C-alpha cells in the first residue's frame, strides 16, 4: 500500500512481511528504506527500491520504502533528509497499525540513500526523530571529497572499465547539486563521512555492504573506521565480485546474497537485545571477509 506521510510531497510504500513470518507477539521487524540515484534520480519502482523491498518482505521484514524528494528544481539539502526523518517518524507512529515492533525498526539506504540514512541518524541523535535500532548501508556515498583508492582497488577498477566511476570531480559535482552550494559549507549530516568519533557517540549498530570494484568503498570504509573508534558495533562487508549498485541488478547473485545477509543481521540484532552483552572491547569475526566490531 502507498500512504502519504508528514512531508512536503512524499509518499511511503509499505510492503508487509509475510504473515507466517511474524514474531511470537504478531509483530515483525521493519526496514525503512531509501533508494539511491545520485540525489537526483531514482523512484519507488526501480529494482533498488521495489525489488529490495519485496525481497525483505518475503523474508519476514516489513519494509517502508521512501519516496523522498530529489535534488534539483529548487530542492536541495535538507529537503531529502527531512523526508527521510519524516518517514521514520511516520513508521514509528504507525507501528501498531503496520504490525511492526517499534523496538525493531531499522533504517537503511543504498548509495545516495545511504548518505541520507547515515546523515539522518546524526540528526536523530539530536532529537529530530526516533533513533533506529540499527542501520543498513549499502555502498553509501559519504564524503564530498573522495579519497584516492589504494593500489589494490585501483588495479581492480582498471580491470573493470565498465564499472561506474566515482572519482573526486564527479563526487564533488554530485554533492554540489545536492547542496546547491560549495561542499566546504556543507553541514555534517549532509556529509556524514566527515564525522569524528565524538560526533557518532550513541550511533546504533551498523551493517555496511560495499561493492568490491567500487570507488565509493573508500569513503564507506573510512566512516566505518570512525564508528568503530567510537565503540559502535559495525559489520563491514565487501561483497565479492560486485561493482557499485548491485542491489539495482537483481539478476546478480550478490543482490540476493546481500539481502540474506541483512536479514540475518537484523535477526542478530533481535537476539542481542535479549542476550548478555559481551565484555567491553571484545571482538568477533564472521566468515567471508566480514568484520564485526
Residues 83, 89, 93: CA angle, nearest 5 degrees: 145
One-character DSSP codes across 267-286: HHHHHHHHSPPPPTT--EE-
d(CA 163, CA 157): 7
Q: Can 244 be counted among the known catalytic residues?
A: yes
Taking a C-beta distance cutoff of 8 angstroms, is the pair 60, 28 a contact? Answer: yes
The 8-class DSSP code of residue 77 comes to: T
Q: Can 111 be counted among the known catalytic residues?
A: yes
| Nearest-10 crossing angle of helices 253-274, 50-58 | 50
Which one of 55, 65, 111, 219 is the catalytic residue?
Answer: 111
Cis upstream peptide for 247 (omega within 30°): no
Which one of 65, 244, 246, 268 is the catalytic residue?
Answer: 244
Cell triple for 236: 563491514
Taking a C-beta distance cutoff of 8 angstroms, is the pair 189, 120 a contact? Answer: yes
Strands (E) across the chain are located at 2-4, 11-15, 28-34, 62-66, 100-110, 134-138, 206-213, 234-243, 284-285, 291-292
Taking a C-beta distance cutoff of 8 angstroms, is the pair 232, 160 a contact? Answer: no
d(CA 272, CA 211): 27
Which residues does residue 291 pair with via DSSP β-bridges, in sequence order? 236, 285
Taking a C-beta distance cutoff of 8 angstroms, is the pair 87, 64 a contact? Answer: yes
Which one of 50, 164, 214, 268 is the catalytic residue?
Answer: 214
Q: Which residues are catalytic?
A: 111, 214, 244
Amino acid at each position: 500500500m502507498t500512504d502519504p506521510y508528514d512531508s512536503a510531497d512524499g509518499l511511503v510504500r509499505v510492503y508487509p512481511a509475510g504473515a507466517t513470518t511474524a514474531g511470537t507477539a504478531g509483530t515483525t521487524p521493519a526496514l525503512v528504506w531509501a533508494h539511491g540515484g545520485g540525489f537526483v534520480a531514482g523512484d519507488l519502482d526501480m529494482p533498488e527500491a521495489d525489488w529490495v523491498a519485496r525481497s525483505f518482505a518475503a523474508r519476514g521484514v516489513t519494509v517502508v520504502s521512501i519516496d523522498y524528494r530529489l535534488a534539483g528544481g529548487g530542492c536541495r539539502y535538507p529537503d531529502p533528509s527531512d523526508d527521510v526523518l519524516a518517514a521514520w517518524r511516520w513508521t514509528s507512529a504507525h507501528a501498531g497499525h503496520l504490525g511492526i515492533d517499534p523496538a525493531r525498526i531499522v533504517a537503511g539506504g543504498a548509495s545516495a540513500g545511504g548518505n541520507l540514512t547515515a546523515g539522518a541518524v546524526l540528526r536523530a541523535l539530536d532529537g529530530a526523530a526516533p533513533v533506529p535500532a540499527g542501520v543498513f548501508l549499502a555502498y553509501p556515498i559519504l564524503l564530498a571529497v573522495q579519497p584516492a583508492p589504494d593500489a589494490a582497488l585501483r588495479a581492480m577498477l582498471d580491470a573493470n572499465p565498465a564499472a561506474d566511476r566515482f572519482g573526486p570531480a564527479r563526487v564533488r559535482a554530485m554533492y554540489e547539486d545536492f547542496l546547491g552550494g560549495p561542499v566546504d559549507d556543507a553541514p555534517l549530516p549532509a556529509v556524514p563521512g566527515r564525522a569524528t568519533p565524538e560526533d557518532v557517540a550513541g550511533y546504533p549498530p551498523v551493517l555496511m555492504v560495499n561493492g568490491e570494484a567500487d570507488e565509493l568503498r573508500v569513503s564507506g570504509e573510512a566512516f566505518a573506521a570512525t564508528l568503530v573508534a567510537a565503540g559502535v558495533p559495525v559489520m563491514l562487508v565487501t561483497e565479492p565480485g560486485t561493482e557499485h549498485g548491485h542491489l539495482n541488478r537483481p539478476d546478480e547473485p550478490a543482490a540476493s546474497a546481500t539481502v540474506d545477509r541483512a536479514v540475518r543481521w537484523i535477526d542478530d540484532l533481535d537476539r542481542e537485545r535479549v542476550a548478555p552483552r559481551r565484555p567491553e572491547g571484545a571482538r568477533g569475526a564472521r566468515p567471508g571477509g566480514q568484520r564485526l566490531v
